[in-house]
Amino acid sequence: MSRSKRGILADDRAGSVRGVTEAQERLEAATAHLDPPFAVIDLEAFDANAADLLRRAGDKPLRLASKSVRVRELNRRALDAGLRGVLAFTLPEALWLAGHGFEDVVVAYPTVDRAALRELADGPARSTVTVMVDCPEHLDLAVAAVREAGGGPILVALDVDAGWWPLGGRVRIGAKRSPLRTPEQAAALAREVLARGLVLDGLMSYEAHIAGVGDRPPGRLGVLAGAAIAGMQAASARELAARRAAVVAAVRAVAPLRFVNGGGTGSVERTAAEPAVTEVAAGSGLFAPTLFDAYRAFTPRPAALFALPVVRRPSAEVATVLGGGYLASGAAGADRLPSPVLPPGLRLDHREGAGEVQTPVTGEAARQLRVGDRVWFRHAKAGELCERFDAVHLVRGREVVDTVPTYRGEGCAFL
């Protein structure tokens, strides 16, 4: 089965053309009253993805990576489905979520936002929001905020590097995140946390090169590249399991830890299997953007799509839609482009890609498109799609059952 035809929508029967056609027909029926551009979330796919993530996590809790959703209503839906707690992406977001009743919010990335730290120290979120630290400067900022706000101590968590450094460290694989790597380094910062009157709440180490890199990449060399990626990931996971256990033991000797968080959508079962890990994070698997088609261990159902209108026909082979240049972050490459998925048989123009104000699509199906038709796309990543739309339409079956604001629609562009 070709990748472009696999799992396009919830009711895509194993990629059959009939399934694809049904999926489009259903979406068109649900949204006939809307004028594109607009974005939809297929609730059946979203709920099935949440259930599958929970199944993969086994008996370990799953914390919601909210950057990969960015819709308050859908954050809530994921928690109602059984995810527990939020892994937020900025402190202002965490404060905002706490103000809306979300509990147990851990900010996954360090903050140097002094006003937000003061607000945290001084307000009710202090008992529900935890900030990430990996160096003494982060502690200085937290302590200064507590002093200036006249508030109580802040909850902090240590971020520990999860990268793989084979060949005696001459090769370094993994995201460039925390400088903390060894049990000794982590324990030393844990002692600093206590010495400064802050509260050590948890520990996190995110293996981006395992959780965020698919081992079934598309393309001519996909099989070979996939085998190499899988080998790298297996070796790294072995090293990480031992080191993470040693780091956790060393830090626990300094102070108790409420949580040890690791992993992401691409590594849920593997990370959950580590005894030292108490919970796993995941978010992207709910929307299932195209980058998450490339994993062998799981096949999420695409839940997030956006529709763009055909506005012109420059030639018989090409249809041009309005907008579309919604590129995903990361190292620039074809895999960061959105994909036209419905009708099946479309592709982007390799010279123009996805454009700022218009996007030509070609391929067999382009010949049939008329001005006013819609083309349905998937984004390469999850939550970033929501920075392009004020609202998402929630589709169930052949109906839009609700329309809810994205973070952007609530006036909240946190990043």
Ligand X SMILES: Cc1ncc(COP(=O)(O)O)c(C=O)c1O
Contact with ligand X (CB under 6 A): which of 281, 294, 321, 361? 281
Nearer residue to ligand X within complex by CB, 282 or 375: 282
- The closest of 307, 379, 405, 302 to 71, measured between CA atoms, is 405
Options 94, 117, 121, 211; binder of ligand X; rule CB under 6 A: 211
| R_g of the chain computed on alpha carbons | 22
Among 206, 259, 295, 306, binds ligand X (CB under 6 A): 206
Residue 373 is given by DSSP the state -
- Report in angstroms the alpha-carbon separations of 45 from 226, 303, 400: 26, 5, 14
* Shortest Å distance, C-beta 116 to ligand X: 18
Indicate whether 283 belongs to the interface with ligand X (CB under 6 A).
Answer: yes
Q: Which of 399, 396, 341, 407 is nearest to 374 (CA)?
A: 341
Q: Quick count: other Cβ atoms within 10 Å of Cβ 52?
A: 18
Q: Based on CB atoms, which residue is closest to ligand X, 29 or 51?
A: 51
The verdict on 66 binding ligand X (CB under 6 A) reads: no
When asked if residue 68 is in the footprint of ligand X (CB under 6 A), the reply is: yes
User: In the bound complex, what is the minimum distance in angstroms from residue 268's beta carbon to ligand X?
Assistant: 8
Measured from the CB of residue 387, what is the shortest distance to ligand X in angstroms?
A: 15
Nearer to ligand X by C-beta: 149 or 203?
A: 203
Nearest approach, Cβ of residue 385 and ligand X (Å):
13
Query: Binders of ligand X: how many residues, by CB under 6 A?
Result: 15
Which residue in the set 264, 302, 338, 360 belongs to the binding site for ligand X (CB under 6 A)?
264
271: which residues sit within 8 A by CB, 6+ positions away?
Answer: 207, 210, 211, 262, 263, 264, 277, 280
| Residue 241 and residue 262 in contact, taking contact as beta carbons nearer than 8 Å | no
Report in angstroms how near the CB of residue 220 gets to ligand X at its nearest: 26
> Is 265 a residue that touches ligand X (CB under 6 A)?
yes
CA distances for 55 relative to 82, 205, 383, angstroms: 11, 22, 22
Minimum distance from CB of 107 to ligand X (Å)? 10
- Residue 193: other Cβ atoms inside 10 A: 26
Told to check if 282 binds ligand X by CB under 6 A, we report yes
Task: Rule CB under 6 A: choose which of 183, 212, 289, 302 binds ligand X.
Answer: 212
The CB-of-4 to ligand X minimum distance in angstroms stands at: 22
Q: Should residue 57 be labelled a site residue for ligand X when binding is judged by CB under 6 A?
A: no
284 is a site residue for ligand X (CB under 6 A): yes
Closest approach, Cβ 389 to ligand X, in A, equals 19
User: 276: which 2 tokens?
Assistant: 């030292």
Helix/strand/coil for 219 = coil
Half-sphere exposure of 152 (CA within 13 A, CB side): 9
Which of 120-128, 138-146, 206-214, 391-399 is the region at the interface with ligand X (rule: CB under 6 A)?
Answer: 206-214
Using the rule CB under 6 A, give the single segment among 213-221, 235-243, 277-285, 369-377 that binds ligand X.
277-285
Q: What is the per-residue binding string for ligand X in 232-251, x denoting contact by CB under 6 A?
A: --------------------
Q: Quickly list DSSP for 75-103.
A: HHHHHHHT--SEEESSHHHHHHHHHTT--
Q: Which is nearer to ligand X, 116 or 328 (CB)?
A: 328
- Report how far residue 376's alpha carbon sits from residue 388's, in angstroms, rounded to the nearest whole number: 15
348 with 355: CB under 8 angstroms? no
Q: Is 294 in the site for ligand X (CB under 6 A)?
A: no
**Quick check: helix, strand or coil at residue 274?**
coil
| Chain residues that interact with ligand X, rule: CB under 6 A | 65, 68, 87, 108, 206, 211-212, 264-265, 281-285, 382
